[in-house]
Structure 1
Amino acid sequence: MSQKHLDREKSLGLTPAEVPLKALPTVKLSREDIRRALDLAEKRNDSAIDEGVVFGDQTALSSHQTGLLGELAVARLYGLNVDENAYKQGDDGIDLSLHGTSIDVKSTATRQMSRPDLLVRANKPLKSELYIRTHVFDCTASRARIRIIGCASKEKVKDQMPEPYPEDTLNRVVRADEMDFLPLISPADC
């Protein structure tokens, strides 16, 4: 995959907001995946001297688990491995790498909306080339379903004026109707 920037001119012009929800990619994770996400979340939570923000009724631990479920879903979709290390200052802003393209996965488990906006903290440097929004919408102890809402390039995220959303946390917000679909790759691209 040599293309670094998503080019809407070459797409059909649709956005993730304009297709039925069931048309968006959904990844199913097993009981073992959920256990792995919880184990990694505990490891990250215990090691973090974190400046993270927790929204809604989540705890720091459940927020880490939601993030890991999203990372696992994107990793599964592209055949990648999730970084299993824990860092005191959090990760470096890069969750995955796909053919040289750095990816930061932004996950939510909100029940407030079915197509959550992509939120990127305004006070954090933009280190990834691609930001992917995932939505954990069905999760039990034995299975989880994660919808891949869409993505935005670093440039698109950078162009967003920070706004207090949700509540008073300043974020760069890319709405679903401004996101792109995930880049598709085939075995010939590998």
Structure 2
Amino acid sequence: MLHEQCISSAGAALRKAPGDATPETVLVEPAMQHRNPTYKKDRDSHRAPTDVDLDELPVQEISDRMYRLAELIAQARKLTYEPIEGGRVYGNQGSIDANLTGVIGEIAVQEATGSIEQPIFLRGDRGYDVVNNGTTIDVKATSTHMELPDLLIPHDQELGADVYLLVHRFEPRKVRLVGWAPRHVVENRDPERYPGKSLNYVVRPDELNLL
């Protein structure tokens, strides 16, 4: 189980996000097509997940009971997304697996931030998944083999959340809270054809804010 220190540190980081001064980020790859050429990351005040060892990132494990609940929700989402082939899926995973990862991510973030008893929608949502102390959080979950994955936001998604939080499901019931980006970081870039031909806003791990 996640230590209390990890839970509180993750929650504190997300709670203070909206009140912080607008963070800056660094342009580290030509493929990142920032609309603002002066956009750079302030390494002194905003550390990235790449600045620490992997085992220092917060981990949240959900219970067997919550995992079974997540399976039921994922099955229901598969049915509600049937007209569009089970929702948006990357890689070789099936739509049920992709939905399961998403639901587990949402539950894990709710538990980690103490923002429990919030609705998990079967089809679509309000543009965010969790509200924590007035901050709206859109949880982006992945089960990729990469240790530090990229934060991917579909180019056609309305950017309505205050914070975009990347979680990595690396075991059936465990997710790693990788890092987060405020909305303006996502907005101030052009979409990329990545992964494959999918058009997404892509935020690399060294651009994310450490929890």
Counterpart residue number, 1:74: 109
**Offset of 1:12 from its aligned partner?**
3.9
Q: Does 1:125 align with 2:158?
A: yes
What RMSD over aligned residues (CA atoms) do the two structures have, in Å? 2.0
Q: Could you state the TM-score of these two structures normalised by the residue count of structure 1?
A: 0.84
In the alignment, which residue of structure 2 is the partner of 1:54? 89
AA paired with 1:102? T
Whether the aligned pair in 1 keeps the contact of 2:120 and 2:129 (CA below 8 Å) is no
SS in 2 for 1:64: helix
Q: What is the identity, as a one-letter code, of the residue corresponding to 1:36?
A: L
Paired residues of 1:6 and 1:180 also in contact (CA < 8 A): no
State the Cα distance separating 1:60 from its structure 2 match: 1.3
Matched, 1:173 2:178: no
Percent of matched pairs sharing the same residue: 34
Tell me the equivalent position of 2:192: 163
Residue type of the alignment partner of 1:181: L
- Kept after mapping to 2: 8 A contact 1:160/1:174: no
- Whole-angstrom CA distance in 1 between matches of 2:119 and 2:46: 34
- Counterpart CA distance in 1 for 2:144 and 2:19 is 29
CA–CA distance in structure 2, aligned partners of residues 45 and 114 of structure 1: 27
Q: Does residue 83 of the first structure (1) align with residue 119 of the second (2)?
A: yes
Does structure 2 retain, via aligned residues, the 8 Å contact 1:27–1:147?
Answer: yes
TM-superposed CA distance for 1:159, in Å, is: 1.0
- 1:37 aligned onto 2:70: yes
3-state SS of the aligned residue for 1:93? Answer: coil
Unaligned regions of 5+ residues in structure 1, if any? Answer: 183-190
| Cα 1:133/1:3, change in 2 over 3 Å | closer
Q: Give the equivalent residue in structure 2 for 1:94.
A: 128
Q: Which has the higher strand share?
A: 1
